[in-house]
Structure 1
């Protein structure tokens, strides 16, 4: 009875709560709860295979039609005995990473296939017909919506004009800018037509106008052509892709949320700058150790806070703080992903100082375990970077004997 009352309360609360982040979480929580008895979706990736085979597995999973994407989810890395929340986070992070950086699959001749193109905060769907024919924009919509349902990473950098049209906005009010056009030659033409300087490439302008079924340049239509060409370059040529992308998002059940809570759209599609974590943002999430955890054989043991233990903990924690304070945004994201499985910081990320060779992480419980033996920052930095950079290749290599949960770790380059 209490559970039913709580669910009923959350159904209305996500519509009225002021915080859009909390509104999105409540909506996802309610949707997942309502579908908890459905058949479990199983997302599997074989880490022993090459990247192309791995990415094909991800795409095949999200290409399936008539799927209830709010069903229970179970993720598994074949070739690895790891289970639990850390694996779920790792695969959700991988999915969004592929949308941002491209899939290792060949469609249209390219070795890396990108679904969106352009500069940060002005990304638009690729005009590739191969991607459209292979339902890759529906795949992208399902991936983004599925990650949102499980509180995973968002997709940053999409053009506000594309977001506007995607969510049902009119062409007349779309906030299109010249930066939204990834073709630099077309940008130059649009910019020149929008200015007042004398034009010296009329033939190129007229060729583009004829190609896109617009009238050629004359004495009175210069500014009109500038507006029409940029509108067609950004929206006209990508309308089918936008429609397919919209269908993929709708498949995940998010449309009701986005319809009622426009302020959640910026959470689903944030600006690139809004996804950059500062050092202080990460430091504010960390719970620092009060003692040193000693690993003795196959057992973990909390030791007394004697002078040496306190000194080791203070020194190594200082090294981690130095690393965080001097890290680039990319390095911070890599550390967070190594620590908890994806690039979304969590409150209560814990640090433990241990007897061990290399840094490890219990991703399911947001624990980072750092060896106490380091006495120089340079070697600490080298070991931590080696683990962070290679954690995707050597994801789970160690076990936590106290909980049965596996740890993320990595080999040094010299050990591989």
Structure 2
């Protein structure tokens, strides 16, 4: 399959190291009254960014740090105190909007499970104490497989976690070495068994397109993943980000750059293998065993819901206002210590930007977009996109703009044609 360079299989919701431009934010973190209007009737989520890793993977562009890079004030103990203080900043800033109980909590990183389950539980308790959790709230932590034991999994469950997202990435040793991953394939199976034994849901994250990974390597990883019977699978195309070690290796010609056609073939194989195993796609890079096993937290992102991001470099969005925290744990702790919100900058989205994001993110979802929600240019474009095999014709008849498999590979093209010039 020939793919456009516009193929977008990358991860949403991470904490990239490069921030967009923005405008200054109030030092107390206050939000415009319009952003808080009607907040109680909207879903509200919390993201907690834990920026620590044992090693820095060569492909990773997220805002993470190894412990030797940090001084004591920015290390885990100082981070926990600062994150707890930011929860109080959030509670004050959101109080005029009286947000309802939190629908989902997601602890990401980094490697959150470098912290003890009790420490992660203290952060979750801070969320619960300030806003409460809806009954049956989804509470996820990411984890590297080699940080999970049966005891850790049991303790996470006791702290209130309901779901663990394991960074499997690959089942092929040479691919894991290229990615600088520290676990071995057998460790993934042990971690899945531990998480399941504690009664928690399991998600596996995979990466395809690693230099040196063959199509058969990728098939092996997919088959190994489905053999573990997780509740959810994410599969992301490798992106070589500037400034990473992998980017330097590609630039020097030490390893080949990912190939668009190869990544498209691997995406199609992922969809084939996962569908055959009973997993339905519900977002371009995500498959679930049933609708109940979809990642509700990420669906909230894609649906434009409200969330507050706690931690260094964390991003937030409430009522059309988006902001992002200072990146370095020391700078983050220093601002919190001065009684200031740790915001680096923010942007207030206008109506055009909010509409564009609604189309951009909504079209990625398996449920698609209501055609009636599109403006005239978009509604007119639907017939042509169906004719070109990018939107599903039967769904369009039902009033939904839903990507075909080919459309998923060319999602940016679809968005471009749905939005006004």
Question: Shorter-chain TM-score: what band?
Answer: under 0.3
State the TM-score, normalizing by the size of structure 1.
0.22
Name the one with the larger strand percent: 2
Q: Using CA pairs below 8 Å that are at least 6 residues apart, which structure has the higher relative contact order? A: 2
State the TM-score, normalizing by the size of structure 2: 0.21
Higher radius of gyration, 1 or 2: 1
Greater helix percent: which structure? Answer: 1
